[in-house]
Chains A and B, each alone.
Chain A
Amino acid sequence: MLPAFLNGLSLKALAGSPLMHSLGRYMGDDRVLVLVQLAGGNDGINTVIPLDQYSAYMSARANIALPEDKVLRLTGADQIALHPAMTEMQQLFNNGKLGIVQAVSYPKPNFSHFRATDIWMTASDSDKVVNTGWAGRYLDDIYPHFPNNYPNEGMPDPLAIQVGSVVAGALQGPAFTMGLAISNPSNFYNLIEGKVTASSPTRAGEQLEYIQQMGLKTDQYAAVIKKAALKVTKQSDKYPAPGKNPLADQLKIVARLIAGGLKTKIYMVNTGSFDTHAKQTDDADKTTGTHANLLRRVSDAIGAFMNDLEYLQVPDKVMGITFSEFGRRIRSNASGGTDHGAAAPLFYFGHAIKGGVIGNNPVLPANATVNDNVPMQTDFRSVYTSILQNWFTLQPADVQQVLNGRFDTLAMV
């Protein structure tokens, strides 16, 4: 393992020398998964609004409820609408490029951010503590013995790349983390341009500059990333200006690396914080405010990303999902926010997915109390199962092993 983090640019390269390594059944399978983590617990009920229960909806959360005439209607899905900020995702849904899975959770849901995040990352049961990530186990299955003998001619590229954070638990393999982290988009651009962050003109600064330069040279993966990135000279102009939408900045890098030909199978990006305990909406105009800004960021970023995939001519290779550690309470609180909840909708997107809605609206109690939560309709491991089996074409027996259990598949792809 290499300098894991180099001035915010997190790169892991490997010990051991490259050897011929046959990937067998995975030769030529170039499908990619993008995981979009919404950190903090997204309020599902104000994201996918149940049009068929508006009076219960208004009564449960009058101080943050979105006006019925402002929520975004969806073609072929009369029972739901999207938050007004999500215009791009509305369009994607209407074009069959976006799907919604309702009320995703797991039995005995946990209301702690850290524990719940852990559960989603490791695909464990609620009462078990597992040390490996679901995606890490998948990668370990198809690339055994990583990092020994990697990179190699069969797989010269990182197995997974995380942009925007430390390598998430989802990518933790049995012995090693399977992911490489680019913790800061500006450091990605420094890498491909061969720059190091300017150091202060001190004795220490001068030493730092040398160490950073050595770190860049040393990293075997830095070279392949740079090579792939430099193959792409132009991307969609739908992305907002750099820095305006951090999620869009991350996805822009992902699109670039995919189009540049990296064989990396899994990318992870994240945004937050969705932990809207207070002042979730603007008082005067409930369609604006904190939650609206967060959802607009997600929607615009995914919209630009999907547009870019077409522009870069790699549309069918990619599918993505959003996920969040839990939804939020049906009933809003007195601070104009919502507290930790349970099940919530999950989005999946891509140019080769089957759009639509899987599952039904949650049934909102007529007079929701502070104890009411959205019950689970779909176990999140079914989402993972569908991805592994139908998108990555992993054998069912292997899927069960990776997920430590057998879960139904969904018609996502």
Chain B
Amino acid sequence: MKLNRPQNGWSNPGYPTPATTNMETPIVTSGLKRQKGKWTRVQATHLVRRTMFGAKKEDVDALLKISRKKAIRRLLETSDAMPLPPVNNYNDDKYTDEEIPAGQTWITASKQNGMNSGRRRNSLKSWWIGLMINQDIHLREKMVLFWHNHFATEMANVDNATWLYKHNVLLREYALGNFKELVRAITMDPTMLKYLNGNNNVKKAPDENYGRELQELFTVGKGPGSHYTEDDVKAAARVLTGFRIENKVLPDAHGIFDPARHDEGDKTFSAFYGNTVIHGRKGKEAEQELDELLNMIFAQEEVSKFICRKLYRFFVYHTIDDATEQAVILPLAKTFRKGGYEIRPVLQELFSSAHFFDTGNYGGMIKSPVDYCVGLCREYGVKFPDDSDVVDEYGFWTNILGQAAAMQQNIGDPPNVAGWQAYYQAPQYDKIWINSDTLPKRNQFTDRMINNGFTRPANKKIQIDAVAFAQTLSNPGNPDALINDSIAALYMIGLPDKDKQYLKEGILLSGLQGMMSDHYWTDAWQKLADKPDDTANRKDVVAKLKKLYQYLMNLPQYQLC
């Protein structure tokens, strides 16, 4: 299958790009020095919103109980437990899996066929979104998404759900680990071997796909500091001949090095790579040529800069101006190299920095569709069925993932090997998530979740419980506190007073004005507790809260994180 190369060319990751509004892109001048001073709720909310999906109040509370330093460490700490694998949620009247009973995992299946491969892929996607929705207080799931975007592959192309599952596990295992080892593992991963044709890359007919993307997309990039040549691509392709998928036993599918397919000649690289020659070897020993290749590539400082820029764009802000390149990217890249390409120290430094916590960075990113949809579920504590009902549990996860897909982020199926444009395409970057098609869809999603939610047969439903959410706030009976606390929970930036006034008078007090009228809301809220059977009052309170949250989520501030 021919890959679709991005039409618009490549962004220049290291250089400032023009803004797309009339406003000058504002500068944040603070650097990488550790953020000092009080550890505040708004800082914790900012940290959680960036490192996780949504800023769920319990998570923010948990991190506020410990120091900022410990909070960051917690987000990065070694996490041993790997999630349980996806299960058969997909039997229906058209098909029953011949091998895997309902509710059991299909990753051990010895066979796949035309009937179950698509279902298992969907099962995998739903399971994955479920992991995000149910994430622990940890960076891991966000890093899985980061690496998926970085080492982009497409499930529709790769097709084999077992391989795709293993690929997802690989990303999770290395999420906060060693990047160089990750690259090596990816090179031998069946999903990547299929997607970028490594599996077909043989000495008689080398296929340059992976050799190219390894350099252009995965390691040195194509920025101004990257000068690999077409000959480097060819030479890398020759080094990589021989790696293929061993698929005799499906659940054990893995990449192997097959010397019979390997080009044993010497491979010469350009001046960019110091004119390195990788001497060809014979037999199984030749697999070590890959390690030499990676050593050669990783000797370039550009690798560390490229990756750090990508991390910056994913976690902090889309534009990297000269000041940020000097004050943030270059030092982070140095940390990355000095740490032997361990990811944790880089993230530790970035998330601890004054730059990261600079108020100028609050709300500076547009939520990706996954942030938007999964974040909503987490922030409002939307209740999903549990593992005792996988059909509905996965079914509702599918609804959420479908919404994000409609907003142009279909996890598992990015547009092409470059990942999602919002993460790389200058000058718009994350503005790409918002257009005349996707903005209405975002609003339709939040409107739906606050009003009717999603339903499945036999009275199952997922939706926002506005009353339950209001009850998590400190003083929901006071209309000013209700509004202020809701804004603090849902937005990274504030609302002007006149807008808050409007929310109170127009929505909560139905047109009544002045402090003297506040008690109308207070009384109605109190009555909800005292007289829960008063249907008319309940209807009134619920309707007002729904309107309030619908309104708050429809304002553009809600799109920011």
Taking beta carbons and an 8 Å cutoff, which residues of A are in contact with B? Answer: 1-8, 13, 15, 37, 39-40, 113-115, 117-118, 129, 131, 165-166, 169, 183-184, 199, 201-215, 217-218, 270-273, 275, 277-278
B434: contacting residue among A7, A15, A211, CB under 8 A: A211
Assembly CA distance A214 to B544 (angstroms): 28
Asked whether any CB of chain A lies closer than 8 Å to the CB of B306, the reply is no
Asked whether any CB of chain A lies closer than 8 Å to the CB of B301, the reply is no
Judging by beta carbons under 8 Å apart, are A5 and B559 in contact? Answer: no
Asked whether any CB of chain A lies closer than 8 Å to the CB of B360, the reply is yes
Judging by beta carbons under 8 Å apart, are A129 and B493 in contact? Answer: no
Judging by beta carbons under 8 Å apart, are A114 and B510 in contact? Answer: yes
Asked whether any CB of chain A lies closer than 8 Å to the CB of B415, the reply is no
Which residues of B, 543-561, contact A by the 8 Å Cβ criterion? Answer: 543-544, 547, 550-551, 554-557, 559-560
Interface centre among A2, A7, A37 (most CB of B within 10 A): A2
Assembly CA distance A217 to B434 (angstroms): 12
Judging by beta carbons under 8 Å apart, are B512 and A207 in contact? Answer: no
Kindly provide the distance from the CB of B40 to the nearest chain A CB, expressed in whole angstroms: 17
Question: Of all chain B residues, which has the CB nearest A197?
Answer: B496
Judging by beta carbons under 8 Å apart, are A5 and B364 in contact? Answer: no
Judging by beta carbons under 8 Å apart, are A275 and B439 in contact? Answer: no
Taking beta carbons and an 8 Å cutoff, which residues of B are in contact with A? Answer: 19-26, 28, 317, 360-366, 430-431, 434-436, 439-440, 443-444, 447, 492-493, 499, 502, 505-507, 510-514, 516-517, 520, 524, 535-537, 539-540, 543-544, 547, 550-551, 554-557, 559-560
Provided the pairs A40-B511, A183-B506, A273-B512 are in contact, do residues A218 and B364 lie with their beta carbons within 8 angstroms?
Answer: no
Question: A13-B440, A275-B516 are known contacts; what are 15 more A-B pairs with Cβ within 8 Å?
Answer: A4-B550, A15-B444, A39-B512, A166-B507, A201-B23, A203-B360, A204-B362, A204-B363, A204-B493, A207-B560, A208-B556, A211-B366, A211-B559, A213-B21, A273-B514
Assembly CA distance A275 to B543 (angstroms): 22
Judging by beta carbons under 8 Å apart, are B536 and A210 in contact? Answer: no
Judging by beta carbons under 8 Å apart, are B364 and A203 in contact? Answer: yes
Judging by beta carbons under 8 Å apart, are B556 and A6 in contact? Answer: yes
Judging by beta carbons under 8 Å apart, are A214 and B443 in contact? Answer: no
Judging by beta carbons under 8 Å apart, are B511 and A212 in contact? Answer: no
Provided the pairs A15-B440, A183-B506, A201-B26 are in contact, do residues A115 and B540 lie with their beta carbons within 8 angstroms?
Answer: yes
Residues of A within 8 A of B507 (CB): 166
Judging by beta carbons under 8 Å apart, are A204 and B440 in contact? Answer: no
Judging by beta carbons under 8 Å apart, are B540 and A207 in contact? Answer: no
Assembly CA distance A204 to B516 (angstroms): 35
Residues of B within 8 A of A129 (CB): 535-536, 539
Q: Is the interface of B mostly helix, strand, loop or mixed?
A: helix
Judging by beta carbons under 8 Å apart, are A206 and B26 in contact? Answer: yes
Judging by beta carbons under 8 Å apart, are A203 and B512 in contact? Answer: no
Assembly CA distance A40 to B511 (angstroms): 7
Kindly provide the distance from the CB of B334 to the nearest chain A CB, expressed in whole angstroms: 25
Assembly CA distance A285 to B456 (angstroms): 65
B444: contacting residue among A1, A165, A201, CB under 8 A: A1
Assembly CA distance A6 to B439 (angstroms): 11
A40: contacting residue among B430, B512, B551, B557, CB under 8 A: B512
Provided the pairs A203-B26, A209-B21 are in contact, do residues A272 and B555 lie with their beta carbons within 8 angstroms?
Answer: no
B447: contacting residue among A1, A6, A202, A277, CB under 8 A: A1
Judging by beta carbons under 8 Å apart, are A8 and B557 in contact? Answer: no
Judging by beta carbons under 8 Å apart, are B493 and A114 in contact? Answer: no
Judging by beta carbons under 8 Å apart, are A165 and B506 in contact? Answer: yes
Judging by beta carbons under 8 Å apart, are A4 and B551 in contact? Answer: yes
Kindly provide the distance from the CB of A278 to the nearest chain B CB, expressed in whole angstroms: 8
Judging by beta carbons under 8 Å apart, are B512 and A3 in contact? Answer: no
Kindly provide the distance from the CB of A219 to the nearest chain B CB, expressed in whole angstroms: 9
Judging by beta carbons under 8 Å apart, are A275 and B512 in contact? Answer: yes
Judging by beta carbons under 8 Å apart, are A8 and B513 in contact? Answer: no
B360: contacting residue among A3, A15, A166, A202, CB under 8 A: A202
Residues of A within 8 A of B510 (CB): 39, 113-114, 117
B511: contacting residue among A199, A202, A204, A273, CB under 8 A: A273
* 12 CB-based A-B contacts, threshold 8 Å: A2-B443, A6-B554, A6-B555, A39-B512, A40-B517, A118-B536, A204-B493, A206-B26, A208-B557, A210-B20, A212-B556, A277-B516
B555: contacting residue among A7, A40, A210, A271, CB under 8 A: A7
Assembly CA distance A217 to B435 (angstroms): 9
Residues of B within 8 A of A6 (CB): 554-556
Kindly provide the distance from the CB of A226 to the nearest chain B CB, expressed in whole angstroms: 16
A270: contacting residue among B23, B439, B511, CB under 8 A: B511
Judging by beta carbons under 8 Å apart, are A113 and B512 in contact? Answer: yes
Question: Of all chain B residues, which has the CB nearest A4?
Answer: B554
A207: contacting residue among B24, B366, B537, CB under 8 A: B366
Question: Of all chain B residues, which has the CB nearest A110?
Answer: B536
Assembly CA distance A390 to B95 (angstroms): 60
Residues of A within 8 A of B551 (CB): 4-5, 166
Judging by beta carbons under 8 Å apart, are A211 and B537 in contact? Answer: no
Residues of B within 8 A of A211 (CB): 366, 434, 439, 556, 559
Kindly provide the distance from the CB of A185 to the nearest chain B CB, expressed in whole angstroms: 12
Judging by beta carbons under 8 Å apart, are B436 and A214 in contact? Answer: yes
Assembly CA distance A270 to B507 (angstroms): 13
Assembly CA distance A126 to B430 (angstroms): 51
Assembly CA distance A6 to B553 (angstroms): 10
